[in-house]
A and B are shown apart, each in its own frame.
Chain A
Amino acid sequence: MHFKKLFQVLVLGGAFLGAAAGCAQANAADKDKKPPADAGTTDSSGGGVKGW
């Protein structure tokens, strides 16, 4: 397993693709937006995605 190669291909390769277009803009509305109240539900810490 060549983890170093995976890092280069996936992480650095992805960053290159992301930078190829114009930069993302900070959204002032997002910064000012108050988060919705967290009702203390069981998903308050978030979940993950199953894979292979």
Chain B
Amino acid sequence: MRPRWGQRIPVYVVLLFGTALMVLPLLWMVSTSLASTKYVTTFPPKLFPDTFEFANYGRIFSDTDLGRYLFNSVVIVIPSMVGQVVASSFAGYALARLRAPGRRIWFVVTLATLMIPYEATIVPTFVTFQYLGWINTFWPLIVPQLFGSGYSIFLMRQFIMQIPTEYDEAARLDGLGYFGIWRRIIVPLSVPALATVAIFTFTFQWGNFLGPLIYINDPEKYPLALGLYAMTQTSNVGQTPDWNLIMAGGMLLTVPMVMVYFFGQRFLYEGGNALGRIRV
């Protein structure tokens, strides 16, 4: 059955309207980031600037500290991703493949951690890290990522369960131990799930605001999200911040995330299917 064009028009009208609401703000972020300082203070605001100043993207590195913030973000994000991937693939392998007393209980406990909201543990965790002298360091942001997380481990386990056990058997006959099986069989065959864990960790850590806000007071050590926020706070009352530079900073925060989703889509689909439902 093919509906006639007359019936489709309302569908397109609604979708175009929705798309406009989704995309126009983004286009405005891009155009403001390329605008001159004069443009952003004109009233009433114009839809598009007259000239594009690509130099703004140079200025955020020369006139502001965003370059340093970006560097700090990378320093925090990379070990977090590695830690999450390794720890959750270890635990996922153990829960999916190795028989041991207590395995069921640990699996149930893993699922139970998903129900604990982050703020339920935030005060004692802060006190502990303060006691360890970790305030104003990256450790409170990185170290919790080195143990894995309930969601990543659940995802890894579900994915590894789909890998045929015959591979393990064959590898065992070739003389590989458990670690060898993990490294030679499980890791290469669970790349989509590993990539999914890496992407989720990146997403969380790249945008993380509360963690740095609590643990990092030294502006030298701000990651990008907190540093960008701090930039909007430093201007005096009544003085408008440089919106063009802030929007350029917003782009700096946004573009890597969009790229990660764009290139990771394939993995997210395969990795997510292991959960029995499709995501992205």
Instruction: Say whether A associates with B.
Output: no
Taking Cβ atoms with an 8 Å cutoff, the residues of B that contact A are: none
